Amino acid sequence: MEKEKYKFPQDFLWGGATAACQIEGAYDVDGRGLSTSDIHQYNDQLDRIRYRKKLVENEHTSATLAAAVADQEGYYPKRYGNGFYYRYKEDIALMKEMGMNSFRFSIAWPRIFPRGDEREPNEKGLQFYDQVIREVIDAGMEPIVTMFHYDIPLPLLTEYGGFKNPQLIEFMVRYAKVLLDRYSHLVKYWIPFNQTNLVQYCSFKSLGILRDKTENLIEDQYIAIHHQFLCNAQIKAYAKKINPEIQIGIMLADCTYYPATCRPEDIVFAMKRIRMQYFYADVPLRGEYPGFMLRYFKENDIHVDITEADKALLKENTLDFLAFSYYYSRTLDSQKNTMDPASISENPYLKANAWGWTIDPLGMYNAISQYWDRYQKPIMIAENGFGYEDVFVDGTVHDDYRIDYLRQHIQAVGEALQDGVKVLAYLPWGPIDLVSSGTAEMSKRYGFVYVDLDDHGKGTGNRFKKDSFAWYQRVIASRGSEL
Ligand code: BG6
């Protein structure tokens, strides 16, 4: 490859991305309340390939939630994370050493509003983030903050029914205003909701819906999503008022779908499936519901109350950028698959990791290009990475497979930049190993830094640099030309 081919812009944000509930731990410290993440139990009988389907089955009811809260035996890894709450200085120093100039992390909602419905925030919770944000900025990194990443305070589910209840708009916006008031002079980039489009997989952790508290799950999901759209617009309206420099983004989990064949039915089926994902960005970025979605509501007897005032609010407060996570592409066969997002076919041209996630850097180039053509708004690669069960030997990990994966995906970003796409940032997932969101395993590792903890939380928690650490350091120092 020619050397200068992928020289990235001077102001490009090279970083890493995390979520509070997968790193912090300290779940019962300094007044923090319990959230949906605290009741995700580790299951050592896990079927990795099929876990996404199981996730749906594992969605909670009031009874299973209460049982998890009361359980004294099971291990709940997200309560302990990788120890970031106590080791954040060390971790930020490691990221600085790699040369990162940005860091995406989330603020734990239950640290700031332990029940979710209080009028006043928990000062101790805020003080923790005062320190983290200061440390990040002092390390020369741009903080990119997610407000809500899969950790709704539990009373908002048990007492209010989650985001399908319009009161949640008030609680979320109050929480967002507290964060913006305190940090808008320090943090420019904000993502109110992580991966808004994954509701069919996880209506529990992203919408706070308990299965016994809904009679029509699909309808309630779209009502809840509408409420999240309104939160976005209200947050954007407030941010504009207090500091016009602030950038508010929508975030998607990219679901690139390929048609299995060139049968026109396959092409149109894949287009229709992906359009159901674009919907989640269409509303906040274009400011209105797309016609195909209104038709879908009508034909499926789904009633979402979209008032004239809602329409005006959405139109006047479109968001500033599109963030998305990209891990793998999916393939669809119109004769075998359904509209259910979990229904996909094998792609014989792609290899996959142990969790069945395909390795497809061209898919990322395709995704970036499609989003840019559709929205013409700046793009942030908010997550990307290769989950692997690393082998730790002699104080390190020889993770050339991870280097290969990341190299090809950075090249995909480089290709998009050459097309003139405004890509702001590349933020690989979990720069320091963390707890998996989907499976609560520690052994699904993404990091440049190995954390000595196993799936049962055993280990010192100490940090060790993998081979990819020095590699990413070189990539950043050469602005992408030494890949
Ligand atoms: C994204 C989430 O879906 O994917 C992260 O925003 C998550 O929270 C990441 O960790 C990878 O998924 P997993 O299941 O491998 O942790």
Mean pLDDT over 171-176 rounds to 98
Give the residue, out of 105, 200, 325, with the most ligand 1 atoms within 8 A of its beta carbon, to mutate for a pocket test. 325
Mean pLDDT over 15-34 rounds to 98
**415, 7 contact by CB (below 8 A):** no
* Residue 5: per-residue pLDDT: 76
* Residue 51: per-residue pLDDT: 64
Give, in order, the Cα–Cα distances in Å from 342 to each of 223, 254, 273, 424, 438. 21, 14, 11, 30, 14
3-state secondary structure the chain: CCHHHHCCCCCCEECCECCHHHHCCCCCCCCCCCEHHHHCCCCCCCCCCCHHHHHHHCCCCHHHHHHHHHCCCCCCHHHCCCCHHHHHHHHHHHHHHHCCCEEEEECCHHHHCCCCCCCCCCHHHHHHHHHHHHHHHHCCCEEEEEEECCCCECHHHHCCCHHHCCHHHHHHHHHHHHHHHHHCCCCCEEEEECCHHHCCCCHHHHHCCCHHHCCCHHHHHHHHHHHHHHHHHHHHHHHHHHCCCCEEEEEEECCCEEECCCCHHHHHHHHHHHHHHHHHHHHHHHCCCCHHHHHHHHHCCCCCCCCHHHHHHHHHCCCCEEEEEECCCEEECCCCCCCCCCCCECCCCCCECCCCCECCHHHHHHHHHHHHHHHCCCEEEEEECCCECCCCECCECCCHHHHHHHHHHHHHHHHHHHCCCCEEEECCECCECCCCCCCCCCCCECCCEEECCCCCCCCCCCEEECHHHHHHHHHHHCCCCCC
What burial letters (b/e) apply to 411-429, b meaning 16+ CB within 10 Å? bbbbbbbeeebebbbbbbb
- Which tokens go with 261? 């064949």
pLDDT digits (tens, 9 = 90+) for 116-158: 999 999 999 999 999 999 999 999 999 999 999 999 999 999 9
Distance from Cα 113 to the centre of ligand 1, integer Å: 24
Distance from Cα 437 to the centre of ligand 1, integer Å: 5
Of 128, 133, 178, 172, the residue nearest 153 (C-alpha): 172
- Which tops the pLDDT comparison, 50 or 134? 134
Pairing of strands 330-332, 257-259: parallel
pLDDT digits (tens, 9 = 90+) for 245-256: 999 999 999 999
315: confidence class by pLDDT, cuts 50, 70, 90: very high
Give the residue, out of 197, 388, 402, 437, with the most ligand 1 atoms within 8 A of its beta carbon, to mutate for a pocket test. 437
- Which of 36-50, 323-337, 387-401 bottoms out in mean pLDDT, i.e. has the lowest? 36-50
What burial letters (b/e) apply to 13-45, b meaning 16+ CB within 10 Å? bbbbbbbbbbbbbbbeeeebbbbbbbbbbbbee
Give the residue, out of 21, 280, 383, with the most ligand 1 atoms within 8 A of its beta carbon, to mutate for a pocket test. 383
Number of the ligand 1 atom closest to the C-alpha atom of 194: 6
Mean pLDDT over 80-102 rounds to 98
pLDDT digits (tens, 9 = 90+) for 436-483: 999 999 999 999 999 999 999 999 999 999 999 999 999 999 999 999
Residue 202 has pLDDT above 70, yes or no: yes
Give the rounded percent of residues in the chain with a pLDDT score beyond 70.
Answer: 97
Distance from Cα 105 to the centre of ligand 1, integer Å: 13
- Which of 222-231, 348-357, 358-367 bottoms out in mean pLDDT, i.e. has the lowest? 348-357
Give the rounded percent of residues in the chain with a pLDDT score beyond 90.
Answer: 93
pLDDT digits (tens, 9 = 90+) for 285-305: 999 999 999 999 999 999 999
Distance from Cα 125 to the centre of ligand 1, integer Å: 24
Overall residue count recorded for the chain in this entry: 483
Q: Whose CA is nearest to atom 12 of ligand 1?
A: 437
Mean pLDDT over 13-31 rounds to 98
Number of the ligand 1 atom closest to the C-alpha atom of 19: 8
Number of the ligand 1 atom closest to the C-alpha atom of 357: 15
CATH of 13-477, one of 1.10.260.40, 3.20.20.80, 3.90.550.10, 3.40.50.11900: 3.20.20.80
Residue 11 has pLDDT above 80, yes or no: yes
* Residue 2: per-residue pLDDT: 52
* Residue 1: per-residue pLDDT: 44
Distance from Cα 312 to the centre of ligand 1, integer Å: 34
Residue 390 has pLDDT above 70, yes or no: yes
Average pLDDT, the chain: 96
Tokens 């590792």 correspond to 445
Residue 101 has pLDDT above 80, yes or no: yes
Number of the ligand 1 atom closest to the C-alpha atom of 150: 8
Which residues does ligand 1 sit against, CB inside 6 Å?
A: 19, 22, 194-195, 253, 325, 383, 387, 429, 436-439, 444
**421, 322 contact by CB (below 8 A):** no
Q: Whose CA is nearest to atom 8 of ligand 1?
A: 437
